[in-house]
Amino acid sequence: MTIKEWIIAFIKGKDAIKQQLVSLNQGATISAAYKDNKTQEFFAKETLDDLHEVFAAAKKSDTDTLYSVHVACYNTEYNLKILVQRWKECAVHQRLFFYFVNPDSQTEIKWVINPWLHSRVSDDKKLENGLKSLFSMVEEWKG
C-alpha cells in the first residue's frame, strides 16, 4: 500500500460513522472537504526531505482556522531525524500534523503528532527521546 492509498483509506475510515466528507480530491496532494467547511490538505511523502510546499500550506493554515495541513510519511528513522531537525519550524504552525505510518505493521499502523501542541506540553530537552518512544510503537517501514 502506498502512502497515498493509506491516506485515502484513513480519511474514508475516519468518516465512516460521521459521514461529514463532502469531497475527496486527488492531485499533487489529497484534499478532503467537509460539511462544516473545513478542509484538510494531505501531503504524501516517502521522506521528509523537501517540506517547502508543506510549509507554504502551513502558513495558509495559520490564518485560516478551517484549513489544516497533514503530512503522511513512512515510519523510518530517517524521517524521524528530519522531524527532529526541523522541529522548531514545524512547531510554529498550529494546524500542522505529521502521520508516521507503516501500513504493513503487525503492531500499530501509525503515530500522529502536532508539533505546535506537543511543544507546549512537553520538555524540549526530552523531545528526541519522546519522539523515539512514539516511533517505537509502530514497526519501522523497511519498504
pLDDT in the model for residue 82: 97
H or E segment and range at residue 25? strand 21-26
Query: Is this model's pTM higher than 0.85 or not?
Result: yes
CA torsion sign, 41 to 47 to 48 to 50?
A: negative
Write out pLDDT tens, residues 22-45: 999 999 999 999 999 999 999 999
Write out pLDDT tens, residues 74-110: 999 999 999 999 999 999 999 999 999 999 999 999 9
Q: For residue 27, which of 58, 49, 53, 51 has the smallest C-alpha distance? A: 53
pLDDT averaged over every residue in the chain: 96
Per-residue pLDDT for 124 more than 80? no
> Strands 30-34 and 21-26: what pairing?
antiparallel
